[in-house]
């Protein structure tokens, strides 16, 4: 399938542009790892797929996976935000002093983004995929060993959490997709989150 970016947006650095997102299909990185590209040479769009060309790579980016809350209307973006934002974007602002995990059934490994709101400061957590012998798992955190936040889950039909270190902050789950999702908590409970809704775990 080639290289893809999920949860992506393009940033204008004044003299050039780069893209940010969770990468898949790139041997240099783990699937789901958050990266930014090198300088974008050009973009093109076929149907609702954007192709971002850098010097050495081409990344496929689905419009539905665009992080519209970060994306500005810039010349290199090959579509008009207003044409798609209402169709694909529903904002769920984070609650004060909490963690919000956003999932969608339409995205690989379900993960879209993770936001911490801590005393007015916004922190975006990253997700990486750990390839296991029997079961892959998804690791969400602040990118440091011994970090404050460590949330892990198995991306099965029921998304099963097995590590839940939130530094005592309450955790909300957002389902921004089109299909209801079920989550297994570390307490053995099953939580169903309908499409387009948010629930406190």
> Of 76-85, 91-100, 143-152, 171-180, where does mean pLDDT reach its minimum?
143-152
Residues 158, 52: contact at Cβ < 8 Å?
no
Residues 57, 24: contact at Cβ < 8 Å?
no
pTM confidence score: 0.67
Span 19-34, average pLDDT: 84
The per-residue pLDDT for 18 is 96
User: Could you read off the pLDDT of 115-162 as tens digits, one per residue?
Assistant: 899 888 888 888 888 888 888 899 998 765 557 899 999 999 999 999
Residues 145, 156: contact at Cβ < 8 Å?
no
98-103/171-175 β-pairing: parallel
Could you state, in order of their start, the residue ranges of all structural domains in the chain?
A: 3-88, 98-200
Tokens of 37: 């590209």
The C-alpha atoms of residue 124 and residue 149 are separated, in whole angstroms, by 11
């Amino acid at each position: 399938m080639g290289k893809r970016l999920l949860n992506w947006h393009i940033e204008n650095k004044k003299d050039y542009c780069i893209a940010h997102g969770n990468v898949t299909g790139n041997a240099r990185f783990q699937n789901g790892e958050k990266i930014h590209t090198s300088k974008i040479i050009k973009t093109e769009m076929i149907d609702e797929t954007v192709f971002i060309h850098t010097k050495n790579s081409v990344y496929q980016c689905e419009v539905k996976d665009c992080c519209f809350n970060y994306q500005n209307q810039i010349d290199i973006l090959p579509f008009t935000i207003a044409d798609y934002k209402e169709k694909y974007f529903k904002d769920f602002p984070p609650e004060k002093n909490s963690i919000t995990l956003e999932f969608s059934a339409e995205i690989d490994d379900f993960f879209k983004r993770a936001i911490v709101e801590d005393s007015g400061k916004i922190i975006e957590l990253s997700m990486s995929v750990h390839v296991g012998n029997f079961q892959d798992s998804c690791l969400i955190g602040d990118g440091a060993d011994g970090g404050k936040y460590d949330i892990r889950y198995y991306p099965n039909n029921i998304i099963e959490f097995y590590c839940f270190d939130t530094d005592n902050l309450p955790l909300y789950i957002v389902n921004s997709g089109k299909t209801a999702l079920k989550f297994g908590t570390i307490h053995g409970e099953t939580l169903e989150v309908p499409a387009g809704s948010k629930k406190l775990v």
